[in-house]
Chains A and B, each alone.
Chain A
């Protein structure tokens, strides 16, 4: 039995243990077939719908079972999933422990990102600015456009406050994890870099006195959830909402889900299997422009509705402190706000640390500070803007506005009739770039478990493309739950490990800050 097979067996066993009931459903009889004669086209259409419904329901059962385990609520009287408690407490801890670095280090973080301290001879692959762009291309996406609409839909306008708050606190969580990724990264002789939570958990925890099996276990659990996250939020959610955007644009057609899912898989496959890097390069470079257009359109709408903003702000604050029962009360709003914010900015999740580890610098703290800007741009700026547009346009309480990305499109098109076309292009490009970035994160985690052999890598890439098609055909609810499960669960090992390793970061930060205040750094610009 080869080691690769051995490890695949473990991964499948793990996933089956969390979703064992799916097997029972898989063995259940196929949907009823009738002997009534109908024309071929109708039959094909019904067969496609039946396959789609069957896949979606089986997927739903797996997701439900996984949710029971991973979204366990430890205190019955207060229905907050354990992972949300960990994310909230972790972010508060990092912010206090690093002495409100998200505020005191903000200006310095901007200076670093501007290239003030960029030394081209430092080890690494990309500049600070490029590292931030790369991490943002994975986080800025449908979480900001569709996720915010979902948060308001399920948690009410008050969820926005919690999104912003966790966005601000998450800045220091991001700082902690990205600094650690830099400290424990491996620079290969060819100049490329290998880093991320699986490495800092494995090596760092051993340095803190944990035995090898425990440290390795942290790394492995993170890697398993990261692979899941790359199939969920980094893939299925994007494919699902991009398909939804196309459906909104051209109307629902039979087989559209399969066709568009296949097309997306083909286009992603061109880069990750075909090796056509030019497509990925162009997309990555267009993303900041699309972000700019999106934010600009939002600002125009908010200026045109300026008189409604105070009213919207009052509504947001009022719904936050005394939310309606329909949204699950105070706790329901809090949980929704945190889930959607973390899903969008991935602070505490550890994914961005894989991208930031590639930065050209020999100062780990410096890259950590650049990473801090990620949740700010993603959540405090872009998500809040989307939320305000959804609220001032009235989309959040208009049933015909639809769900997710459809609601956001409706909200923007109320004021800017030409915007849906731009939004659809943005949705496609955001989804595409997020999928490419997440395929890299997932592959790094996959390599951590299965090694760098050609066979192992190609298996992952084919699975990744398969999940794109699955995401396009599955329902939004199932996709969101699965994506949340995987991405948020990455925070279990990452935040617990991050807290254990925080003293190491603190020592580095104090030394760095002292040198910064003493003007000891060389300025290159």
Chain B
């Protein structure tokens, strides 16, 4: 059965796996404007050198990520895709975003960012599965 969706959320962590999730999303939607790319940043560490001595703020971080998201969308010929940058716990933020945008599909790679990758489903993917308001397509790790 072919998978149809008109509002597809793709979480982006800028790994090659999330880039391939964009490709999968593009195969499903009719046009790139139906893709909703979101990057979730971790809360700022108030004791990091960049915060204490440098000029790292949530505003500066958001600007940098937005530029990187735009560039990523361009490389996939998806300049019309919607972009979002939020701060918080990735799994929950992704599910909330899907609710807000009334998404009917979330596409997420299964990989974990860290830890015992081979034993556990990525904690972000697991949380998205638990809280998502719609269908979730979990992509297998290539290995």
Contacts and interface: CB of A to CB of B under 8 A. Distances in A.
Interface string B53-77: 1101000111011001000000000
Interface string A270-296: 011001110011001100000000000
Interface stretch (A32-40, A127-135, A407-415): A127-135
Given A3-B120, A453-B123, A189 B51 contact: no
Contacts of A56: none
B114 to A, nearest CB: 5
A436 interface: yes
The binding surface of chain B is classed by DSSP as loop
Given A191-B60, A453-B123, A131 B49 contact: yes
Contact of A437 (B47, B56, B113): B47
B69 to A, nearest CB: 8
Interface string A415-450: 000000000000000000000110110010001100
A156 to B, nearest CB: 37
A134 B52 contact: yes
A193 B64 contact: no
Nearest to A440: B47
A297 interface: no
B16 interface: no
Contacts of B42: 452
B39 A191 contact: no
B107 to A, nearest CB: 19
Interface string B109-143: 00001111001100100000000000000000000
Nearest to B72: A189
A451 interface: yes
Contacts of B14: 189
B123 A126 contact: no
Given A451-B115, A453-B123, A192 B48 contact: yes
Contacts of A437: 47
A355 interface: yes
The residue among B51, B61, B64, B116 with the most chain A CB atoms within 10 A of its own CB is B51
A440 B48 contact: yes
B89 interface: yes
Interface residues of B, number: 31
B64 A454 contact: no
A130 B47 contact: no
A83 interface: no
B64 A189 contact: yes
Interface string B78-115: 00000000000100000000000000000000000111
Interface residues of A, number: 37
A271 B47 contact: yes
A118 interface: no
B46 A125 contact: no
Contact of A133 (B51, B53, B120): B53
Interface string A123-145: 00111001101100000000000
Nearest to B124: A453
Contacts of B49: 125-126, 130-131, 134, 355, 358, 440
Nearest to A441: B47
A7 interface: yes
Interface string A449-463: 001111000000000
B1 to A, nearest CB: 34
7 contacts: A3-B116, A3-B119, A3-B120, A7-B115, A134-B52, A448-B114, A453-B89
Interface of A: 3, 6-7, 125-127, 130-131, 133-134, 189-193, 271-272, 275-277, 280-281, 284-285, 355, 358, 436-437, 439-440, 443, 447-448, 451-454
Given A190-B61, A281-B53, A448-B114, 7 more contacts: A7-B115, A126-B50, A130-B54, A271-B46, A277-B44, A436-B47, A451-B115
